Chain A
Amino acid sequence: MADIMLKVENLVKRFGGLVATDSFSMDVIQGEIHAIIGPNGAGKTTLIHQLSGLLNSDSGTIQFDGKEISHLSAPKRCHAGMVRSYQITSIFKDFSVLDNVAMSIQAREGHSFRFWDDAGKDADLSEKAMKILNETSLQDKAGILADNLAHGEQRQLEVAMALATSPKMLLLDEPMAGMGPEESSTVTKFLNSMKVNYTMLLIEHDMDAVFALADRITVLVYGKAIACGTPEEIRSNKEVRAAYLGDG
């Protein structure tokens, strides 16, 4: 019996008259890569904001690791073990690559009301950050200003920062956004290699990547989950083909 890591039930978000998330339900099993796909405007971004705690839901429940988290703030959800990455690269551009990751490490080590000692000389902090950089193949870039990284590397750093919070589950918001086929296949490999250690909920536009990576796929249309299953099941699902893949 596989453990359920994340269980979302009847989640709703309205913006005025628009129902962006419409009684959305799904679950993520520990150890799987679960992908959410959907056409533009399906409500993917709203959903990830709701899951990560940046948007309050109007109704519904989110259970994570056996606990109800829908009333927790974003930082508390992160401490509970669910961390997100961003579609539009969201890093600290004027910090070095190492320091970007160190910020995540520092966050998980209790409060930061430490006013005196130089954090840059904190060997423990940089050692742990370096370990994450090794895991994400960014070790050679440690001293570089994050702003000066190539686009693909910034995407990797984006994920590295999420990993450094020691999450139980990663919410990946379009990790392949804005990448060419070559870069995107590198990231696909990279995510595949992390699969052993992390449960992932992947929101992604790149269909090749989704079908290569995901154990299960949920299809989101107009805020509703219209289908959920293995990549083969989704490929052959008539409703999905009609609604999304564009042929009936």
Chain B
Amino acid sequence: MSIQFLKTPRGIYNSLLILLCVFMPIIAPLIGQEFYTDVVARVMIVTIAAISLNFIMGYGGMISFGHAIFVGIGGYSVGILASHGIESAYIQWPVGILMSGLFALIIGAISLRTRGVYFIMITLAFAQMMYFLSVSVEKYGSDDGLTIDARSDFGLSFFDLNDAMTMYYTAFMLMVGCLYLNFRIVNSRFGRVLRAGKSNNERMATIGYPTFRYKLVAFVIAGMMCGLSGLLSANFEDFVSPDLLFWTFSGELIFMVVLGGMGTIMGPLGGAMIFLFLTEILSNITEAWHLIFGPFLILVVLFARGGVEGFLKKYEDPNG
């Protein structure tokens, strides 16, 4: 990324998004909207899930309509372990991420044998199965959810997630880390295989790639990253509930990715930011905010196919 890029509309827009994340804890009290800090914290946490979805959907063409399942698994890993008194982050976090990866491996191994609408339906079915499981297990709160008494304990005096700022900037650093990781992977040899497979899967096979393997590994990476988002969410909210697994949340994730710009590095952050702030602002204005939000979604899909990133790119280069 060059300095030149930062002067383009996309560069300015993306810089603003990052600056907003960095300085919101300072800005929010100044404008008397202190809860905005919490909104941005949620944005950053959900952005990690959106990056993960964008990785397989935007770059790999795998439209996972059950992506919330991995957020749920990450979240419940914290919740369930905490309810048994295991609060160490060094147990909770590896368990959350590895469980998400393991589920991604199983779900991917089955669903990646299908394509298109069947893939969408199977991923959705897995997520709904897990949703109903979470609703039915009384021990872990069933549909009331599970309150978490203590946040993940890193055993460090200077690094305590109970401190609001530590929590906020941990989410920020992890989000930036995921953005960078995604940037590296999609431009690597592996990322090229993923993108070319989206473009033309059969050709990939005939020039010598066992494509299933590559897609499965991508799916597992995405699952683990999404699990991380769940871990953070459980810690931030001190609470997990079946809502994390419900299909509407998977749908919202898809929408955030599309809104921000599918297959772009920064798209997920922009998408999540706009989505959550609009939800927040509109629901404060009127109770019937869905009546405004719905048409907005339709307009975006109709007129801004490439999302915000695509729109700005067109503006920079009308021929591009």
Contacts and interface: CB of A to CB of B under 8 A. Distances in A.
A75 B200 contact: no
Interface residues of B, number: 25
Contacts of A52: 206
Interface stretch (A37-45, A103-111, A174-182, A217-225): A103-111
A122 B192 CA distance: 12
A79 B188 CA distance: 22
A119 B203 contact: no
Nearest to B214: A112
A84 B189 CA distance: 23
Interface of A: 52-54, 73-75, 78-79, 83-84, 86, 90-95, 99, 102-104, 106-108, 112-120, 122, 161-162, 164-165
Given A75-B205, A91-B200, A93-B199, A113 B210 contact: no
Contacts of A74: 205-206
A53 B193 CA distance: 20
A114 B188 CA distance: 7
Interface in B167-212: 184-185, 187-193, 195-196, 199-200, 202-211
B294 to A, nearest CB: 31
Helix, strand, loop or mixed for chain B's interface?
helix
12 contacts: A54-B202, A79-B208, A91-B200, A92-B199, A92-B203, A107-B207, A107-B209, A112-B189, A112-B193, A112-B209, A119-B189, A120-B187
Interface of B: 184-185, 187-193, 195-196, 199-200, 202-211, 214, 217
A203 to B, nearest CB: 15
Given A90-B200, A90-B202, A161 B190 contact: no
Contacts of A162: 207
A83 B188 contact: no
Nearest to B205: A74
Given A90-B203, A115-B184, A107 B208 contact: yes
Nearest to A86: B203
A78 B189 contact: no
Closest 9 CB pairs of A and B: A78-B208, A107-B208, A74-B205, A114-B189, A92-B199, A112-B189, A90-B203, A119-B189, A118-B187
Given A93-B199, A119-B187, A165-B208, 9 more contacts: A73-B205, A75-B205, A75-B209, A103-B204, A107-B207, A107-B208, A107-B209, A108-B208, A115-B191
Contacts of A91: 200, 203
Contacts of A93: 199-200
B138 to A, nearest CB: 42
A155 B187 CA distance: 27
Given A52-B206, A74-B206, A162-B207, A106 B192 contact: yes
A7 B95 CA distance: 54
Contacts of A164: 207
Given A54-B202, A92-B203, A115-B184, A75 B210 contact: yes
B192 A103 contact: yes
Contacts of A112: 189-190, 192-193, 209, 214
Given A91-B203, A94-B199, A95-B196, A114 B190 contact: yes
A31 B208 CA distance: 23
A103 B196 contact: yes
Contacts of A104: 207-208
Contacts of A122: 189
A184 B187 CA distance: 37
B190 A115 contact: yes
Nearest to A101: B207
Contacts of A79: 208
Contacts of B204: 103
Given A90-B200, A90-B203, A113 B209 contact: no
Nearest to B185: A115
B189 A83 contact: no
Nearest to B204: A103
A75 B185 contact: no
A107 B200 CA distance: 15
Interface core residue of B189, B199, B206, B211 (most chain A CB under 10 Å): B206
Given A75-B210, A92-B199, A103-B196, A54 B190 contact: no
A119 B188 contact: yes
Contacts of A99: 192
A114 B189 CA distance: 6
A54 B206 contact: yes
B192 A83 contact: no
